[in-house]
Amino acid sequence: MKTKLFNKYVAIIFVLVLLFTSGIKIHSVLTEPKISDWNYHQLQKIDKSKTNFSFAVFGDNKNSAKTFDNLVSKLNKEDILFAIDDGDLVYDGENEKFRFFLNQIKDLNKPLLTVFGNHEAREKGRATYYNLFGPFYYSFQVDNNYFIILDDANEKNLDDEQFAWLKNELKISQSYKNRFVFMHVPLYDPRKGDYKEGHSLEDLNFVKKLNNLFDENNVTMLFVSHIHGYYNGVWGKTPYIITGGGGAELAGSDSQHYFYHYIKVNVDNSSVKYDVIKLKSPDFELLDRWIHDAWIYIYAFFAVHFIDTLLILALIYLTSYIIFMKWNWIVRKIKK
């Protein structure tokens, strides 16, 4: 005897769901978001003549939802010229993840520039990132300030071509008052001690060479992320800020370092000031943190893969329906 769950009307509904979600999924796989050279177009929106201005820096949002949405909302209310996302925009390089990120920032009313992070490089995401956002490293100027964005997403070093480009950019930057450098993976991991490897670049010989280059060229501030928290200090003569509180799971429970935030940088003719703008963060009880971190990925999964979830559920139901109907047919044949 058929149950209410397995009748032809419910089955028809699930067939329609299957057809609808399959169409959307095929379209999603075959198409990418319809943007290109994002960073170039965002740069055109920045008033390069400003002498006194502010900009924001953050990193490691990694397809998080609520916290990053809150960050975007706060940036909309800030008096800033532009913002820079210092990498790990997404959890991995699948089209759906980039599409989710672009939907999150579509209402941001400030120009947003991006840095290539190691999570963008996953799942063949390097090509997708390039198609959407443009070159992996680039530079620009605002009045007397020089900005250099690097790609160290391989978590080891910079290739020879990029390193040569960087040396030339730093040479050009000497005629400017301030030099700001951005890259995702830090030179060292401050949690391991001075100049130690951890969640940082692996090639320490190269790191020393890069650090010396920054020192020689008097880099005003090096912004990095990758470590999900906040640290600041000096490597050699180069001051650094680690800003990895854009929404991904925090890396520890020390309230001095692990909280959601972004950095607001205030530039004028006489000085540069750095304000840490804190966002709502989870409690530091271990169980609360586990629940919070699990929820980040559960929520993000269903937000990104809502269509996939419907597709799988429809397939599971229809498979069960076919098995149920086949079993009923066999039972009826036996009874006859």
Bridge partners (DSSP) of residue 278 are: 261
Q: How many CA atoms lie within 13 Å of 74's alpha carbon, on the beta-carbon side?
A: 20
Say whether both 224 and 111 belong to one domain: yes
- The CATH code of the domain that includes 160 is 3.60.21.10
| Burial of residue 142, with CB atoms counted within 10 A of its CB: 0-12 exposed, 13-18 middle, 19 or more buried | buried
More confident residue, 317 or 255: 255
Q: What is the b/e burial string over 101-133, where b = at least 16 CB atoms within 10 angstroms of the residue's CB?
A: bbebbeeeebbbbbbbbbbbbbeebbebbeebb
Q: So what's the pLDDT on residue 323?
A: 78
Q: So what's the pLDDT on residue 55?
A: 98
Determine the Cα–Cα distance for residues 323 and 336; give it in Å rounded to an integer. Answer: 20
- Tell me the pLDDT tens digit for each residue of 274-291: 999 999 887 665 556 666
Q: What is the extent of the structural domain holding 73?
A: 37-287
Say whether both 22 and 43 belong to one domain: no
- Is residue 227, in this structure, part of any structural domain at all? yes
More confident residue, 301 or 226: 226
97 SS3 class: helix
Say whether both 69 and 11 belong to one domain: no
- Tell me the pLDDT tens digit for each residue of 236-275: 999 999 999 999 989 888 889 999 999 999 999 899 999 9
- Tell me the pLDDT tens digit for each residue of 119-173: 999 988 999 999 999 999 999 999 999 999 999 999 999 999 999 999 999 999 9
Q: So what's the pLDDT on residue 10?
A: 72
pLDDT band with cut points at 50, 70 and 90 for residue 1: very low
First to last CA, the chain: 15
Say whether both 180 and 229 belong to one domain: yes
- What would the DSSP string read from start to end of 159-174? -HHHHHHHHHHHHHHT
- Considering the entire predicted model, what is its pTM? 0.82
More confident residue, 329 or 278: 278
309 Cβ neighbours under 8 A, 6+ residues apart: 302
Q: How many domains does the chain have?
A: 2
| Residue 71 in this model has a pLDDT that exceeds 50 | yes
Say whether both 257 and 326 belong to one domain: no
Say whether both 20 and 155 belong to one domain: no
- Is residue 292, in this structure, part of any structural domain at all? no
Say whether both 13 and 56 belong to one domain: no
- Is residue 192, in this structure, part of any structural domain at all? yes
Say whether both 26 and 44 belong to one domain: no
- Is residue 303, in this structure, part of any structural domain at all? no
